Chains A and B, each alone.
Chain A
Amino acid sequence: MQIDEVVWQVINRGHCSFKIKTISQNFCRNEYNVTGLCSKQSCPLANSQYATIKEEKGLCYLYVKTAERAQKPKELWERILLSKNYEQALNQIDEQLKYWSNFMIHKNKQRLTKLRQMLIRIRKMRLKGFKELIPIKKKAERRDKIREQKALVAANLENAIEQELMDRLKNGVYNEIMNYNSKAFEKVVGQNQVEDEEEREQQELEEEEEDYSDEQLIFDPNDLEEDDEDDEIDEDNQEDDRRLFKKQTFNQLRRQDDQIKDLKKKKPRVQLQYEEEEELEDRKKQQIAF
């Protein structure tokens, strides 16, 4: 004989292995419990007439227990498949639990709705794809940060980039746009200078007739010294340098007063005068002869 009262008093006062006590509430861990709380009405052990809803593989079943089958524990719980349609399922519950207590019917319907909502959510997540939460590991983060800094230092980025660009220049990737083949460049420049020089000579001869004031004629002996050093280099380079040098002096001759003053500030300069035109011509001849 199973008397519910007695069972409840024994379980409640004594020890129930499904009971979980917390500060505010008691929970029931029994798989057949409708609400999940520990109370006399919702305890599946202390009620010989009981019903729950359980979900298996996306389908909801109604489990019913009656006092007549209390002696046959294997056949104790009757399993009824509920329809997939929500309204029909609710009607099924009403039918099966006809004349039962309102508490039981109501709680079962509530449980059904909750389970169905859960199933809908699972379906949505499977189809749409959900955001996976990945934990941040402090140690790994710290480690990566430090390694990154060291890798930056080891990479030596600017140098690497510069080297790459220089390699590309040497391989001739930019040949269409930039003329930086140095030998070719110099040759071309040299040819141009020869042409320019001839023009310049004519111009000079014309302009030498004018009178130069002392201020405009500045001759720097330092430049002449550079001339002597170039003797050691190849003859071609010598010629080019001489011509460049010549360009320089002529440009200096042409410069205006303001610029001359700026130049003065930079270096100590010695002022000399060309009094005779013949000297100039002799100098030119000497340079060309080399």
Chain B
Amino acid sequence: MAKNKSKAVHAIKIKHNAPFSQKIKKKEQKGQKQRRVGGFKSLAKFDVSRIKNKEKRIQILERKQNEQKKTKKMERKEKEANPDREKLDPLTIDDKRDIDENFVFDEDDQEELQNEEMIDEFQNYFQDGQDPKIIITTSERPSRQLFDFLKDVKDVFGPDTHYWPRKQFSIKEIQEYSINKGYTELLVFREHRKEISQLIYIHLPNGPTYKFKLTNYTPCDEIHHHGRFTDHNPELILNQFNTKVGRRVGRGLAALFPSKPQFRGRRVVTFHNQRDFIFFRHHRYMFQEEGQKVALQELGPRFTLQLKQLKLGLFNDDGEIEFEARDDYYVKRTAAFL
């Protein structure tokens, strides 16, 4: 009788499916958390925009955001719990840059580079120490704003710089005349709608032509606490010209200034390249606290340059184009060629 009763009891009981119960047992053995009924996965990598139904989409978005908040809190607690954990520096765009064969890490190692630079167009300046002789012109019919710019800029370069008005001559003719008169550099400043916009820099006897785009010009007067500079030859700082093309540009810009700096004058001119933008700054420096600190006073104008074209040969010649900044080059945020 008792057995019958027990059988009846057994008969009424609902049996679990064998595999399911086994799963639970296995998980308990492993020590994992039991899966919640319904099975919520984490929404961290779920693309909410896949859902076409608006209401549902909003729902799931809310859920996702809540989850993100929670994970953030957890992470923060972890951070505070271990203060000794190594702090990683955040990655910047400069770190993510593609590094080619053109990138120059250490100039001393690269003999080829050094040999090339011995023979290049600027050897007169770097090897023999010949001072540059610069001629400055403008586009046709320059405006007052251009003249103001020239007033600021002309004295920054060495003593041997002269301004000649443009007067309907073509650049080809100007090149000829300046070579005859013994100039070594030709700078043409061009403007667009009364704002200075371009610089064409031609190194004269055979030299390469650079086409720059000039932006963000602040004149001396608008710089707070600016100083007046003297005639001393300035020192040069050329920062972060990393690739071969960059080095060409850097050398070209260095060749605009007199070859021997006079340290007494304490004048510095910097061309700093950051992500293909070349920043020009002009300072006077002073060492303080027995050489522990430097104090800088800004002197001249500020502007930025972007290289648009580097071509061998003079302006009109069909020389080989070493670098031309096309639109596709700079679509990527991490692109940098100098």
Chain A positions near chain B (C-beta within 8 angstroms): 128-129, 137, 140, 143-145, 147-148, 150-152, 154-155, 157-158, 160-162, 164-166, 169, 173-174, 176-178, 180-182, 185
Contact = CB atoms under 8 A, between A and B. Distances in A.
Nearest to B216: A148
A133 to B, nearest CB: 12
A185 B94 CA distance: 40
B130 interface: no
A15 to B, nearest CB: 45
Nearest to A176: B263
Contacts of A143: 330
A180 B272 contact: no
B154 to A, nearest CB: 23
A173 B38 CA distance: 74
B277 A148 contact: yes
A155 B240 CA distance: 10
Nearest to B237: A164
22 contacts: A128-B172, A129-B171, A129-B172, A140-B327, A144-B306, A144-B330, A147-B277, A147-B333, A148-B277, A150-B275, A151-B274, A152-B274, A152-B279, A154-B93, A154-B94, A155-B272, A155-B274, A160-B270, A161-B296, A165-B237, A169-B291, A180-B291
A43 B306 CA distance: 56
B274 A180 contact: no
Interface of B, secondary structure class, is strand
A162 B297 CA distance: 11
Contact of A157 (B93, B281, B294, B316): B281
B264 A177 contact: yes
Contacts of A154: 92-94, 274-275
A173 B294 CA distance: 15
B202 interface: no
Interface string B269-294: 01010110101010101010011001
B304 interface: yes
B290 A185 contact: yes
A260 B279 CA distance: 49
B283 A174 contact: no
Interface of B: 92-94, 170-172, 215-216, 237, 239, 263-264, 268, 270, 272, 274-275, 277, 279, 281, 283, 285, 287, 290-291, 294, 296, 304, 306, 316, 327, 330, 333
Contact of B239 (A137, A150, A160): A160
A154 B274 CA distance: 8
B294 A180 contact: no
Contact of A128 (B93, B170, B279, B287): B170
Most buried by A among B94, B264, B274: B274
Given A151-B277, A154-B94, A164-B237, A169 B170 contact: no
Contacts of A140: 327, 330
Contact of B296 (A158, A176, A182): A158
A176 B268 CA distance: 18
Contacts of A147: 275, 277, 333
B287 A161 contact: no
Given A157-B270, A177-B263, A180-B287, A164 B170 contact: no
A184 to B, nearest CB: 11
Contacts of B274: 151-152, 154-155
B272 A160 contact: yes
Nearest to A182: B290
B142 to A, nearest CB: 15
B198 to A, nearest CB: 10
A138 to B, nearest CB: 12
A124 to B, nearest CB: 11
A137 B279 contact: no
Nearest to A178: B287
Contacts of A173: 263
A218 to B, nearest CB: 28
Contacts of A162: 294, 296
A128 B168 CA distance: 12
Most buried by B among A140, A147, A151, A177: A151
Contacts of B215: 144-145, 148
Contacts of A174: 263
A147 B329 CA distance: 14
B172 A157 contact: no
Contacts of A177: 263-264
A150 B263 CA distance: 33
B277 A129 contact: no
B336 to A, nearest CB: 10
Most buried by A among B237, B291, B306, B330: B291
A257 B278 CA distance: 56
B304 A148 contact: yes
A140 B331 CA distance: 9
Given A148-B215, A161-B296, A155 B279 contact: yes
A164 B272 CA distance: 11
Contacts of B275: 147, 150-151, 154
B290 A157 contact: no
Nearest to A136: B192
Nearest to B197: A136
A145 B213 CA distance: 12
Contact of A166 (B93, B264, B294, B306): B294
A129 B291 contact: no
B285 A165 contact: yes
B294 to A, nearest CB: 5
Nearest to A186: B290
A151 B93 CA distance: 9
Contacts of B170: 128-129
